[in-house]
A and B are shown apart, each in its own frame.
Chain A
Amino acid sequence: EAGVAQSPRYKIIEKRQSVAFWCNPISGHATLYWYQQILGQGPKLLIQFQNNGVVDDSQLPKDRFSAERLKGVDSTLKIQPAKLEDSAVYLCASSPSGTPVTEAFFGQGTRLTVV
């Protein structure tokens, strides 16, 4: 079974520029998550989709971050404009459903450096 695919793996941008990340979850997985992992910290949920609907975006900085999951499959996360504190690894994960007993499967992440 193919895993969660993310691109790009690495990105360096200047502050105030925009950037987009792409995620293709495991086929058939209804739930998709975007996490932000700052160096030395645990992953923090940014947004959670169930199919193509948002079920939790309470920690998404909506003034600069946006995400969509068209057709309930792949997803993009955008930052515009980027700030220095956005430097982090952005992890995409998916799971078969939103029930609490299922584990999530993570992609390799995109390491963003904002200079």
Chain B
Amino acid sequence: AQSVAQPEDQVNVAEGNPLTVKCTYSVSGNPYLFWYVQYPNRGLQFLLKYITGDNLVKGSYGFEAEFNKSQTSFHLKKPSALVSDSALYFCAVRDRSSGTYKYIFGTGTRLKVLA
């Protein structure tokens, strides 16, 4: 079965410091990987995706993610964190086995950027 894991429930980082939110995946075949962000009382917003090609993917709001096939990881990164980045972040994989490509989400990581 296809799955994603986010090992950290919460990540704290000081404003201006680099941030990393971790995600590992388990899929059969080539993965389609996504990151979404959820602000309080809001729906999920798409940040970036990896489909194929360059392992470093750039997305919205200065975020990027690195696809690492050997480590089955897709960590979200940002060189300099902002207080406004504080939110809940979800990693997701499209399930190829079902034929419908439904999203399977991780449990989420709460990012707290401290001023």
Residues of A at the B interface (CB closer than 8 Å) are 4, 33, 40-45, 48, 50, 55-56, 58, 91, 93, 98-101, 103-109
Produce 1/0 per residue, B96-110, CB < 8 A to A: 101011111111100
B45 beta carbon closer than 8 Å to chain A: yes
By beta carbon, the residue of chain B nearest A97 is B101
By beta carbon, the residue of chain B nearest A111 is B41
Residues of B at the A interface (CB closer than 8 Å) are 32, 34, 36, 41-46, 49, 51, 90, 92, 94, 96, 98, 100-108
CB distance from B97 to the nearest CB of A (A): 12
Q: Chain B residues near A45: list those with CB within 8 A.
A: 102-104
Q: Are A109 and B43 in contact (CB under 8 A)?
A: yes
6 contacting pairs across A/B (C-beta < 8 A): A45-B103, A45-B104, A93-B43, A107-B43, A108-B42, A109-B42
Q: Chain B residues near A106: list those with CB within 8 A.
A: 36, 43-45
Instruction: Please list the 10 inter-chain residue pairs (A to B) with the smallest Cβ-Cβ separation, ordered nearest first.
Output: A42-B105, A106-B43, A100-B101, A100-B94, A103-B46, A106-B44, A56-B100, A100-B32, A55-B100, A108-B43
Q: Are B108 and A42 in contact (CB under 8 A)?
A: yes
Q: Are B100 and A103 in contact (CB under 8 A)?
A: no
Q: Are B43 and A91 in contact (CB under 8 A)?
A: yes
CB distance from A25 to the nearest CB of B (A): 12
By beta carbon, the residue of chain A nearest B30 is A100
CA distance A4 to B32 in the complex (A): 23
CB distance from A111 to the nearest CB of B (A): 8
By beta carbon, the residue of chain A nearest B43 is A106
Contact (A101, B34) CB under 8 Å given A4-B43, A42-B106, A108-B43:
no
CA distance A101 to B45 in the complex (A): 16
CA distance A106 to B88 in the complex (A): 15
CB distance from B23 to the nearest CB of A (A): 11
Partner of A56, one of B42, B94, B98, B107: B98
